[in-house]
Amino acid sequence: MTNTQGSAMWSTRPVAPLVMAAALLMASNTAMAEKTQNLDELVNSTITPLMKQQDIPGMAVAVIVDGKTHIYHYGLADVKNQRPVTDDTLFELGSVSKTFTGIAGGYAVQSGILRLNDPVARYAPQLTSPQWRKITMLQLATYTAGGLPLQVPDDVDNTDALWLYYQHWRPQWTPGTQRQYSNASIGLFGALAVKNSGLSFDAFMKQHVFTPLQLNHTWINVPAEAEKDYAWGYRNGQPVRVSPGMLDAEAYGVKTTVKDMAAFMQANIDPEALAAKEAGLAKAIAIAQTGYYKIGDMYQGLGWEMYPWPADAEKVITASGNDLALKARPAKRLSPSRPVTAATWLHKTGSTNGFGAYIVFIPEKKVGIVMLANKNYPNPARVSAAWQILQKLP
């Protein structure tokens, strides 16, 4: 009898801890399920009316919270063939591509083939005329070269014509004093930043940014095998895609998926996690996230536009509108530059004729959102929707 009781005693002693562990696990899973359900409801209740209001055929959204990525798909990548948006759908990023260009420039800096404060003429012997002697590579990257236009003119359609255009251009303002958003400015920066590598811009980006970040479905030139995943953009109800142009790769040329953009965002939220295996890329990301000029409340990095966190929602949303974002504004060079700061709202909008993209994250909170749409719709609507979601995350 004693032995039996002893046996029973040994068999029952572990039960209480096991039951407790199981209960805790169940409670944890329940809490996690509830949190996910709440997030799903938050994202759906924000994105669905946005798409209806803006008449957007399809969207893909990635939200990072608690270190985890949540992916959402809506609508159609191809209206005519009723092809739905999926994880593999390729969207045009438009000017969100500039954040990739900024990191490529940062990689060139940390590898020693570029110095941001060098004059442009050091990298472009074609540009030795007086107006170029005081313009730096940093000023090209931050749209402060003196008033380069938003686009390279349409009739500039080859390399010789491009150099001739820049040779005849004249600054409106003293370099470094005004910021005027410009594809012609950061596009030239991107092309010259990688020049001493001996690689094309496409090859440099693939080798030093896309591949190390394992962005296996991110392209500047979409290969034939990926064409089936390439969404159609829509303008006035008609399918469109971006047209080729000079410096398009450097300024607005990236096409990618929502999953790759989530991985890109995660690397930017926590670049230190890359340091062990990709130290050069981690440094490049930090260089791109540095604030070099201050324009009102905004800090201009390499591609990234940044606001101290907590930020003023109304100011950030208003500043994203083209009436202000494309306007020339006074710029103040920061000395020293503002280093990478976790308490920062980092974001970038991007558009082509048929696509609208947005990325924003707050490193301190380890949260962020990517919104990819196959229609170009107003930037303030994008920022407002993202703000609505992010402000309700833990």
Query: What CATH number is given to the structural domain containing 324?
Result: 3.40.710.10
Quick: pLDDT tens for 184-233. Answer: 999 999 999 999 999 999 999 999 999 999 999 999 999 999 999 999 99
Structure tokens at 334: 């920061």
Residue for token pair 């030139």: 221
Asked whether residue 235 is assigned to any structural domain, the reply reads yes
Asked whether residue 3 is assigned to any structural domain, the reply reads no
Q: What is the pLDDT of residue 7?
A: 36
For 225, counting Cβ atoms within 10 Å of its Cβ (0-12 exposed, 13-18 middle, 19+ buried), the class is: exposed
Q: Which domain holds residue 332?
A: 49-390
* Residue 146 zone, left/alpha/beta (φ > 0; ψ -120 to 50; rest): left
Asked whether residue 24 is assigned to any structural domain, the reply reads no
- Number of independent structural domains in the chain: 1
Q: Annotated catalytic sites, by residue?
A: 95, 181
Q: What is the pLDDT of residue 19?
A: 59
CA dihedral over 285, 287, 288, 291, signed as positive or negative: positive
Instruction: Report which DSSP code applies to 118.
Output: S
Give every residue of the chain whose pLDDT is below 70, as ranges: 1-34
Residue for token pair 């048929």: 354
Asked whether residue 118 is assigned to any structural domain, the reply reads yes
Asked whether residue 68 is assigned to any structural domain, the reply reads yes
Length of the chain counted residue by residue? 394
Helix (H) or strand (E) holding 357: strand 356-362
Asked whether residue 9 is assigned to any structural domain, the reply reads no
Q: Which amino acid is at 42?
A: L
pTM of the complete model beyond 0.75:
yes
What distance, in Å, lies between the first and last C-alpha atoms of the chain?
57
Asked whether residue 104 is assigned to any structural domain, the reply reads yes
CA dihedral over 92, 98, 103, 109, signed as positive or negative: positive
Integer-rounded Cα radius of gyration of the chain: 24
Q: Is 134 helix (H, G, I), strand (E, B) or coil?
A: coil
Asked whether residue 4 is assigned to any structural domain, the reply reads no
CA distances from 305 to 96, 325, 327 (A): 11, 11, 15
Contact criterion met (CB below 8 Å) for 359 and 351? no
